[in-house]
Structure 1
Amino acid sequence: MIVPAPRVRRRPSVPGRVLPLLLVAALLAPVGLLFAQTHRLTGDDRDLASRERLGVRYLRALGPVTDALVDAQAAAVAGRPVPRDALTAAVEQAATVDSAIGDDLRSHERWTGLRAKLEALPDRGLSDPDAAFTAYGEVTDLLLALHRKIRDGSGLIRDPRSDSFFLQDAIGRDLPEAVVGAGRLADLTALAAQRPPAERPKTLAELAAVRVAALGPATDLVAGLRAAVDNSESTDLGPNVLTPLDTYQRSVEALAALSAPTGTAGTGPTGPAQVAAARLNAQSAARELQPIILDQLDALLTARIDRLDRDRLLAVAAAALAALLVVVVLAGMLAGAVRTRRRAADERRAREDPGALPTWQPPAEPRQLQPVGSGRPDEPERWGPFDAAR
């Protein structure tokens, strides 16, 4: 009897055991790095867009305050009763918004100071129109400063996309400055007609400065919105913005023509009443344009947030798939290691107890074929009754 010697399996070398682990690490490390970087960048961009939406909400509340304050200034300079209802309602609405999101935008201090100035304005025009013009000018300066604070605190001023950047610049800087500047231009034109001839050179210089301050932001607003439309991938921005923008541009051009110096010596605008009417038209066109800009800007920011959420979801799915593949590879390696150890244990037991292995046996003698009809001796007896029955 020959007993075959068990075959000794070679143990895998150290590089053979380490190489799969290195391959797993080489797969997991870059995927983990890309996931962490994508998650961080998309998280930062999403936080910025969310804060920008807060800024849009705050600027929406400041629009009525700007319009009501300019109207109140015009009434105070003209000596008429100041319409406090519209200004009070706008201030209350803005105060509600500041209470809700002022902590995020760090605007409480500026809003508190502006609100105190607004509530301190008299209900009737001052006896001195120039004093009223100066008092309201200080408050409108604080209002424009609050606009700048909101743009900076919300991150709108750092918006990375060209279309949304031009929109926030138009609604947060150009439009309020143009509305305030148009109001000042109309009011100073009315004051210039009442001043003595000796102050005419000083008045003309002030009018020229105020005119530039009013028409410059309006021109920048038109150029910025057209640039936003040209650089945007949105199909809604152009049709929604261009029509009211054309109306606003025509009203600004009329204001510029009526407020231009007349005569060879530049004796001043055509007439205070005509300039005041042109200011009202420009302000009305700006009031129609403002919510459209805010809605389009908010829509762009919302679409950006949705896109970032999809990118983060794809990154999480890719990381989960990579982790699943790593788990499968590790499970396969573990199963292979268990099988290897089990075979090694069996071979070790076989070497210690050779009798435990099955021995080789020679094949049995083949049975001799018998002729037809020959069978075992007892077969006729067994089949006899059956044959008799047939």
Structure 2
Amino acid sequence: MTLPAERSPDRRMSGLLPRLLLAVTLLVPTLVLSVQAWRGTDEKAAFAERERAGVEYLRALGQITLALVDAQSAAVAGQPVPRDALNRAVAEGGTVDARLGTELRTHERWAGVRAKIESLSDRSHTYPEATYTAYTEATDLLLALYAKVRDTSGLVRDPDPDSYQLQDSAGEELPESVVAAGRLADLAVLAAARPQAELVRTAGELSNARAEVLDPAHDLVTNLQLAVDSTDSGTLGGNLLGELDAYQQAVEALGAAATLDTGNPNTGDALPDPAAVAAARVVVHAAAAALSATVLTEIDQLLEARVDGLGTARLVTVAAGVALFLIGHAPLLVFLVFLVAAGRRRGSTAPPAPGAGPSGPAGDPAPAGRAGAVARHWPGGTPEPPGPGHPTPADTTPAPKQWEHSGAAR
């Protein structure tokens, strides 16, 4: 007959089985949601890190752009070309591409840009027009590399308004404005050496070049103002606005220096002064270099803060997953604890093994009575009735009463 106390563990187990099934059913979606949240956060962090690599690459391209445009202006004007600065910038760009080019997939385009720049170093142009054309091809390749870096690094798909506007300014408007300012100054030099019959064509080229300087500069100012208005950073506005004003004033001065006298295009008075345009171009490049460095630094700081925040979000995801597991799967934990406790109780109250006696281990039963003792200890294993001359094994020491009985018999 089974006692009620022995049936109580089975009753508890049967009551926990539905909860156990529910806990196991909830376990899978909880794990799936936790893993998806972790992967989503991890992908966002990897995306931001790749954007930071793009910012570093853009910084190197900015130095190459300034050095290349300076070399172009010097070559077109027939002055000594500052090749040392250009060679240092190209070497630094090669180092950055060797480290980041595989991730950003820029090796092929960088190789084309570098080969074109090196061919400029070895080429001696007889005519300034050919020099201008050769450098124009090199700067076009450089601007295409800007676009490639922004695309493969993900900067063009940045989800935040402030960092998106900043990367658009540093990776598109600023380089285009710098290149256009250099071309405008070079065209002013070329226009002064062209024959009178080409003044009309020259005036059209100068007008277009002037628009190519002013249009990206206007877009740049608009983008940076939007970035300042939409950012949560407490330092972005203070760091950018002063340099943005200096850049805007420099571009306006260049545009004024390159203005044409449309009232009389057939005379020399219609063309801008090359020296004034060249001087304004130098100021624009200096202001653009300072503004580019600040914008890229601000982008990198915003991305770094985003990566740090995503790291915190990963920890929160893990903590939330553990909490949901503990809350939703408490019955499963209780059931496991119950099984362990029940196993220990059953082990402590287990019946003795078959054949085990109260006074000996299993397989060695205790002898029953004196016959058993004689049977176990008598040679041959045959029990003999105890009697005179046949002491039992238990009588190892003669007792006094035995000698007393013998005397009485005598």
Given the two structures, how large is their TM-score scaled by the length of structure 2? 0.77
Mapped partners of 1:343, 1:84: distance in 2: 89
> CA deviation digits over 1:38-60, x for unaligned, max 9?
11211111111111111111111
Mapped partners of 1:179, 1:99: distance in 2: 26
Residue of structure 2 in register with 1:255 after alignment: 254
Larger radius of gyration: 2
Residue of structure 2 in register with 1:216 after alignment: 215
Mapped partners of 2:2, 2:187: distance in 1: 114
Amino acid at match of 1:311: A
Mapped partners of 1:107, 1:13: distance in 2: 67
Higher mean C-alpha displacement, 259-268 vs 247-256: 259-268
Mapped partners of 1:345, 1:139: distance in 2: 86
1:296 equivalent to 2:298? Answer: yes
Residue of structure 1 in register with 2:135 after alignment: 136
> CA deviation digits over 1:222-277, x for unaligned, max 9?
11111111110000110011110110011111112222222424564431111111
Shift of the 151–335 alpha-carbon distance from structure 1 to 2, 3 Å rule, reads: closer
Deviation at 1:340, TM superposition (A): 7.1
Work out which of the residue numbers 270, 273, 288 in structure 1 matches 2:272.
270
Mapped partners of 2:261, 2:221: distance in 1: 26
Mapped partners of 1:168, 1:93: distance in 2: 21
Residue of structure 2 in register with 1:383 after alignment: none
Work out which of the residue numbers 295, 301, 309 in structure 1 matches 2:311.
309
1:178 equivalent to 2:177? Answer: yes
Shift of the 340–186 alpha-carbon distance from structure 1 to 2, 3 Å rule, reads: same
Higher mean C-alpha displacement, 30-39 vs 67-76: 30-39
Residue of structure 1 in register with 2:284 after alignment: 282
Mapped partners of 2:343, 2:114: distance in 1: 81
Mapped partners of 2:78, 2:127: distance in 1: 9
Shift of the 191–338 alpha-carbon distance from structure 1 to 2, 3 Å rule, reads: closer
Mapped partners of 2:3, 2:73: distance in 1: 109
Mapped partners of 1:339, 1:158: distance in 2: 57
1:120 is paired with a residue whose SS is: helix
> CA deviation digits over 1:19-66, x for unaligned, max 9?
212442455344323312211211111111111111111111111111
- Aligned residue pairs total 346
Deviation at 1:331, TM superposition (A): 3.4
1:93 is paired with a residue whose SS is: helix
Mapped partners of 1:341, 1:108: distance in 2: 66
Q: Sequence identity of aligned pairs in percent?
A: 49
> CA deviation digits over 1:93-141, x for unaligned, max 9?
1111111111111111111111111111146862211111000000000
Asked whether the equivalents of residues 258 and 272 of structure 2 are also in contact (C-alpha less than 8 Å), the reply is: yes
Mapped partners of 1:253, 1:23: distance in 2: 72
Amino acid at match of 2:239: N
Measured on the aligned residues, the alpha-carbon RMSD in Å equals 2.8
Higher mean C-alpha displacement, 181-190 vs 324-333: 324-333
Deviation at 1:326, TM superposition (A): 6.3
Higher mean C-alpha displacement, 314-323 vs 94-103: 314-323
2:260 is paired with a residue whose SS is: coil
Mapped partners of 2:236, 2:88: distance in 1: 31
Mapped partners of 1:320, 1:37: distance in 2: 14
Given the two structures, how large is their TM-score scaled by the length of structure 1? 0.81
Alignment of 1:76-225 (within 5 A): 76-122=75-121, 126-225=125-224
Amino acid at match of 1:96: T
Deviation at 1:328, TM superposition (A): 5.3
Residue of structure 1 in register with 2:394 after alignment: none
Residue of structure 1 in register with 2:395 after alignment: none
Mapped partners of 1:76, 1:345: distance in 2: 96
Gaps of 5+ in 2: 352-410
Instruction: Give structure 1 regions of 4+ aligned residues with deviation exceeding 6 angstroms.
Output: 338-346
Gaps of 5+ in 1: 350-390
Deviation at 1:83, TM superposition (A): 1.1
Shift of the 28–275 alpha-carbon distance from structure 1 to 2, 3 Å rule, reads: same
Higher mean C-alpha displacement, 210-219 vs 82-91: 210-219
Higher mean C-alpha displacement, 317-326 vs 159-168: 317-326
Mapped partners of 1:90, 1:265: distance in 2: 43
1:127 is paired with a residue whose SS is: coil
